Structure 1
Amino acid sequence: MAIQKYLIILCSVLIVALTQLPAAAALPDFSELATKCGPAVVNIGTERKTQAEGPEDFFGEMFRNVPPGFERFFDQFGGKGHGGKRPQMKQKSLGSGFLISADGYIVTNNHVVADADTIHVTFDSSNGKSETLSADVIGSDEETDLALLKVNAKNRLPYLTFGNSDTLKVGEWLLAIGNPFGLDHTVTAGILSAKGRNIRSGPFDNFLQTDASINPGNSGGPLLDMNGQVIGINTAIIASGQGIGFAIPSNMASKIIAQIQQGKKVSRGWIGVNIQDVDDNIAKALGMTAPKGALVNDVMQNEPAAKGGVHDGDVIVAVDGKNIENTSALLLAIADKSPGSVAVVTVWRDGKNLDLKITLGERKSAQSAKRSGKGQSLQDESLLGLAVRPLQNDERRELKINKNEGLLIVDVNPDKPAAQVDIRPDDIILKANLKAVNTVEALSRIVREEGEKRGAVMLQIERRGEVFFRTVPLQK
């Protein structure tokens, strides 16, 4: 009897305990959110004219060595016209975007609309009716891959608003809407996997990472929080990864889009220093308790940092009271501020923190460097097929390139070797065969004396903050 009584009491306690447990949290229902926000998401189609490919595009170096008779055969049957040029073809691409105003302003990625001859925007067809309008590019920012379009519609249009990506927490539910692989208005859901991701796609990488399915065609579409606000612009995927997508944070995008919409030039702050990350050994040597901040390798003369009192060997640990963990954080913090504004930069020097007030300058990109060089005489490196010009001193300083390096590529001949190894306009040549070059004469000398003898020239290229090598084969 005692055992039975004990079992009855134990079962009663368990029943009471189980009834006190909270009910399992149900997965969210995204149907209302999709219905509410879907009409503001658009399909963007573009067309641009491009030269048709010929046999040399497929056979590469093999085609270069065919006998002249065969070249004429390929010219006749490979698509070249009587003028010796291949006909132009229309290249089409698809992407996504979303309305941010009732009068037709649309946000998308720059790479969706770059170099497009025509842009067409197709609106939500969930009600059985779809409408397609022509769009104009109001402005773009290549470095953050953002663009603003405008359509002229007869009626007021549904639109979305930007949310605060800084307050978003890892693990929160998110919704992505777009047109992956051209499939109209596809909705996918997931969570925020991480913040502040740097995938080395540009100088201002600060992506939100999500496991909501993002595929080709989603580019430019919105990443929404559960309140229906845009907290990111879907922009990148990793081809080898599954369940990994990246979005531009709304707090970065909204500032840039606002500048473009107001007809202003996109501008970013600049202090003029060469920097590197602080590792354990540097931290120990400087008496720091932890490896953090950006070590100043060099302060450029007559630039804002020099005028504000920054020294070589300082470690920048904060900007306006916000901690700086590494070089990427410093670049983002300074670029986020307007030229002409004052930033309080905290540096670690002689074992203590020191606050310096710096009036910011304006950062230039490689694209603006190219624009500033218009009107200058360009010089050709004919064997490689490049039109180049030396960098000006102010360009070299602002792009952080040494004085003995730097040839800006302004044009690439599509029929010459450089184009075949993915060398592009706006790339900067730093070295040829590991030798620094800053004049076309120096480059041509290396091409003639070493390239023709060896059959190839190795160029060190800087592109949007990334440095890599390209080897250009030459015909002997």
Structure 2
Amino acid sequence: MNRSLVPFRRTLVAALLLALPQATLAQAPAAAPSAQAGNLQPATREAQALPSLAPLVESVKTAVVNVDVQARGGGGMRGSEDNPLFDRFFGGGRGQREPLRQGAGSGFIIEPSGIVLTNNHVVEDAVSITVRLDDGRSFAASVVGRDPLTDVALVKIKDKVDGLPTVKLGDSDALRVGDWVVAIGNPFGLASSVSLGIVSARARDIGAGPYDEFLQTDAAINPGNSGGPLFNMRGEVVGINTAIVGGGTGIGFAVPSNLVKALVPQLEKEGSVTRAWLGVGIQDLTRDLAGALKLPVTEGAILTQINPNSPASKAGLKADDVVTAIDGQPVTSGGQFTRTVALKRPGSVSTLTVFREGKKQDVKVTLGTRPDLEGVTNKKPQGEEEQQESSRRVGVSLKTLDARTAQQAGFNDRQGALVTDVMPGSPADRAQLEAGMVVVEANRKPVKSAQDLAEAIRSASSGSTLLLRVATPGGARYLRALRVP
């Protein structure tokens, strides 16, 4: 039967666990031995004497947050449009007049000032984000950074807060298949649901993106768990729950915490992830290929293609070279090699251990910066990020009017902020702004660019009204009153 992988996209919530002291587990009373206990191996008897997880869950309840989202468009997990394995809980494409969608997602606080980790697909295309704490408080929030290629996002509470409960990211590499894990989230709107399972597999490649190394678990996770944490028995987050197998039960996937830890500093500082790049095509080295290539090793990455003028080309790497280590770290597969390179700093020098025609040698390569091959980069020109946030405040998309557009559309004005999209039901919609209009004045001050209008919106106090003068193709002008929420 063909099963489809689906992201947790519909009602999204979060829960967090604070670290539970090991002594708490150690002091839990052992279960009374059964009549057949003497027939069991000591390790089996110990496994059956599991303590209750109630102290663990209670100790972290205050760190649980909900991420409520108003979003535009269908969004979806990265790669979902091109990968038939993936279905979207938010179906449909984008339209200029598409209504806003409501969603709820999971996230967990990693800094007491209100930094929240969640999935990218939870906040992608978000117009507004609200973070709700377990104690009932709600805060407006904004996206700090996103990485669509790993489905990781950082969100920050806008209000000045401190002392919020936080959770620690644990060591996902220390997990073994069979280790216990706990998932907490909001499946189908059932808030703060807790489920227990084991790590079913590690480093799963599910075809979601170029850096797949998902943890697979049988802990019950469903739509609504997106962005929520997967915990080890120490109360540390070892994964972000991200995808499930459609139509199946007991098969879920989480982004491993060690990958997340490597991305957080860049997301927090720059808003996006810049990765190192070699410029090669690769495939796994198999036993059969190793035999055909007369190699003494059976694990590694075969370079199948060297891109012209790439870092690999400049370093002298050749097609059919087999990489078995990078900077002394063994390379076991093509995927692992790709992830290792991506986490290094562009411009740094790495040493590759390669086999070429059966002979081992070391090759030094200066790593380049990975181009935006998928067109998902989150970097914006200077001023555009503030412009976008200000525009979303009132539900309008803007671009600076250029001379060519003005001439083609028949505008008498050659400067201004061109309205490219208005969200239905938004303040801009209620002010009768329409796509194709050009805003030329705000509160009787000239508007020469989209950034000028965005700054006027950003500076306006909540509840105030901006008096806008707009122009339409053909030269007609009108006044519009835009109430700022």
Interval containing the TM-score (normalised by the shorter chain): 0.5 to 0.7
Residue 162 of structure 1 deviates from its aligned partner by: 0.8
1:351 corresponds, among 358, 380, 386, to 358
CA pair 243-372 structure 1, distance change in 2 beyond 3 A: closer
1:150 counterpart = 2:173: no
Mapped to 2, the partners of 1:195 and 1:20 lie a distance apart of: 29
CA contact (8 A) 1:98 1:160 kept: yes
Q: How does the TM-score come out when normalised to structure 2?
A: 0.62
Residue 108 of structure 1 deviates from its aligned partner by: 0.3
Residue 97 of structure 1 deviates from its aligned partner by: 0.3
The structure that has the greater radius of gyration is: 1
CA pair 306-87 structure 1, distance change in 2 beyond 3 A: closer
Residue 354 of structure 1 deviates from its aligned partner by: 1.2
CA contact (8 A) 1:50 1:88 kept: yes
Residue 303 of structure 1 deviates from its aligned partner by: 1.9
Mapped to 2, the partners of 1:154 and 1:312 lie a distance apart of: 54
CA pair 146-208 structure 1, distance change in 2 beyond 3 A: same
CA contact (8 A) 2:147 2:378 kept: no
1:120 corresponds, among 130, 136, 154, to 130
Larger helix proportion, structure 1 or 2?
1
1:239 corresponds, among 223, 237, 246, to 246
Residue 86 of structure 1 deviates from its aligned partner by: 9.0
Mapped to 2, the partners of 1:195 and 1:252 lie a distance apart of: 13
Partner of 2:71: 48
For residues 6-405 of structure 1, what are the structure 2 equivalents within 5 Å?
18=38, 22=42, 23-25=45-47, 26-49=49-72, 88-124=98-134, 129-151=135-157, 152=159, 154-263=161-270, 265-289=272-296, 291-366=298-373
Partner of 1:421: none
Q: Which moved more, 1:141-150 or 1:87-96?
A: 87-96
Residue 321 of structure 1 deviates from its aligned partner by: 2.2
Residue 154 of structure 1 deviates from its aligned partner by: 4.1
Residue 367 of structure 1 deviates from its aligned partner by: 5.1
Q: How does the TM-score come out when normalised to structure 1?
A: 0.63
2:122 partner amino acid? V
Residue 279 of structure 1 deviates from its aligned partner by: 3.8
CA pair 197-159 structure 1, distance change in 2 beyond 3 A: same
CA contact (8 A) 2:184 2:230 kept: yes
Deviations 1:248-300 (A, max 9, x none): 11110011112111236411111111222334443222102454322222222
For residues 435-454 of structure 1, what are the structure 2 equivalents within 5 Å?
none
Q: Secondary structure of the equivalent of 2:107?
A: strand
Residue 149 of structure 1 deviates from its aligned partner by: 0.4
Residue 174 of structure 1 deviates from its aligned partner by: 0.9
Mapped to 2, the partners of 1:135 and 1:372 lie a distance apart of: 19
1:94 partner amino acid? A
Higher RCO (CA-CA < 8 Å; seq separation 6+): 2
Q: Secondary structure of the equivalent of 2:60?
A: helix
Mapped to 2, the partners of 1:95 and 1:241 lie a distance apart of: 21
Mapped to 2, the partners of 1:201 and 1:370 lie a distance apart of: 17
Q: CA RMSD in A?
A: 2.8
CA pair 18-264 structure 1, distance change in 2 beyond 3 A: closer
Q: Secondary structure of the equivalent of 1:135?
A: strand
